[in-house]
Amino acid sequence: MIANKYEKLNIFRYLGGIHIHSMFSDGTGDINSISKAAKRAGLDFIIVTDHNSLEIEEGFFNGVCVIKGEEISSDNKNHYLALGINECIQSDNPKEFIEEVKKQGGFGFAAHPDEGENKKGLNRKNPYLAIKWTDKNITPDGIEIWNWFSQWADNLDDGNIFSLIYCYLFKHNLITEPNKNTMKWWDELNNNTEKIIPSLGGTDCHELILKDYIIPIKIFPYEKMFKTITNVLTFEKPLSEDFAERKDQILNAIKEGNNLIINRKIDKNIPEINLTGGSKVKLSENLYLNIETKKKTLIQIIHNGKELYRKIAKKCNLKLKEKGKYRVEIKVKNKGFAYTNPILVY
């Protein structure tokens, strides 16, 4: 497979879709159709996370690196995206399953932790059950800060069929930015520890097929969903051509917080940032955080959970004068576009 070399920074980028459901849980696709959709959407890797299942195959399919994980799912709370595990885990107890994932050599992300709150911070108006992370004193290895499907459902006014049709037709308008409470929790967790608590962005796509009509109706097709929330990994060298090695490289990068989370529905141009999320850099005289975007955007830099910099611009060169954790948020026309993981300056 050809790596996406990005000449200017001399790096290689790999785009991935994470949090996907197949026919082995409540999705409809098999590995062949899902990987084809990922290829058409320009993804290099996908991580399929069926509810309580590891049945899907993994390997290279249709030019896409397919990795399997599990969404450990009790009926109504505490969903957990477990990556790098070999045996399926079935447990309702977060403390227990977080440990079990570690025991298997894996790591995990609390999925859609604040599901149920619409963009005004109010509870969902529709009757569908919201699945939250119920005890924020229980610290997961990482957090899914943005979940497309959850956010769509949170903003769905299910009063009548017209509002359902409206919400479906204008579905992308309902996706704005990660939940504020989730971001707050993520910053707090990072403020309380030296290590980096990583985050990822999920589509939570299922490709539902409504069969009660003369022609079955496909909603939220995989390909369209794959063109929304994407995780961009950055490497200095191309990844291995061997599947097992590449899987390790990708999972290790996600564990470290290398991924930049972007919504490609908002903008397709990946921002150029000189420091990669998850990296640890020593404070020095000439340490700068350089950010460049194709169009004018709102660039925000957060230092230890507090906003340090905010400007509408195409470029930012900020001298880093203090130790701590820095992360970047980029918004386009008031909508969330890109989120880095923390960069640790020590």
Reference 338, options 132, 192, 167, 199; nearest CA is 199
Binding to Zn ion in span 98-127, by CB under 5 A = 111
Q: Please identify, using beta-carbon distances, which residue of 220 and 326 lies nearer to Zn ion.
A: 220
Look up residue 197 and give its amino acid: I
Q: Which residues pair with 210 in a beta bridge?
A: 217
- Could you tell me which of 153, 150, 174, 170 has the C-alpha nearest to residue 162? 170
Work out how close the CB of 306 gets to Zn ion at its nearest, in angstroms, rounded to a whole number. 31
DSSP summary character for residue 338: E
Q: By C-beta, is 70 or 177 nearer to Zn ion? A: 70
Using the rule CB under 5 A, give the single segment among 8-16, 75-83, 161-169, 295-303 that binds Zn ion: 75-83
The distance of closest approach from Cβ of residue 239 to Zn ion in the complex, given in angstroms and rounded to an integer, is 26
70, 100, 204, 223: residue in contact with Zn ion (rule CB under 5 A): 204
Window contacting Zn ion (CB under 5 A); options: 55-63, 70-78, 254-262, 311-319 = 70-78
Shortest distance (Å) from residue 104 CB to Zn ion: 20
Q: How far is the C-alpha of 278 from the C-alpha of 326, rounded, in Å?
A: 10
Decide whether 45 or 80 has the Cβ nearer to Zn ion. Answer: 80
Residue nearest to Zn ion (CB): 79
Taking alpha carbons only, the member of 70, 68, 100 closest to residue 82 is: 70
Shortest spacing between CB 233 and Zn ion, in angstroms:
21
Q: Which stretch binds Zn ion (CB under 5 A): 79-87, 120-128, 183-191, 223-231?
A: 79-87
Q: At its nearest, how many Å lie between Zn ion and the CB of residue 69?
A: 11
267 contact partners, CB below 8 Å, separation of at least 6: 294, 295, 297, 332, 337
Neighbours of 259 (CB within 10 A): 28
Q: Give the nearer residue to Zn ion in terms of CB position, either 71 or 329.
A: 71
Q: What is the DSSP letter of 21?
A: -
Question: Which window, 76-84, 191-199, 254-262, 335-343, contacts Zn ion (CB under 5 A)?
Answer: 76-84
- Residue 302: how many CB atoms within 10 A of its CB? 21
Strand, helix or coil for residue 184: helix
244 to each of 34, 62, 67, 188, 302, how far by Cα in Å?
A: 20, 17, 10, 35, 36
Rule CB under 5 A: choose which of 18, 43, 67, 79 binds Zn ion.
Answer: 79
The span of 83-91, 132-140, 181-189, 204-212 binding Zn ion (CB under 5 A) equals: 204-212
What's the CA angle centered on 265, arms 304 and 60, to 5 degrees? 90
Which range of residues in 82-90, 155-163, 175-183, 199-207 is near Zn ion by CB under 5 A?
A: 199-207
Q: Least Å distance between CB 168 and Zn ion?
A: 19
- Minimum CB separation of residue 186 from Zn ion in Å reads 18
Question: At closest approach, how far in Å is the CB of 221 from Zn ion?
Answer: 16
Q: Tell me how far the alpha carbon of residue 144 is from its chain's centroid.
A: 6
Residues that bind Zn ion (CB under 5 A): 71, 79, 111, 204
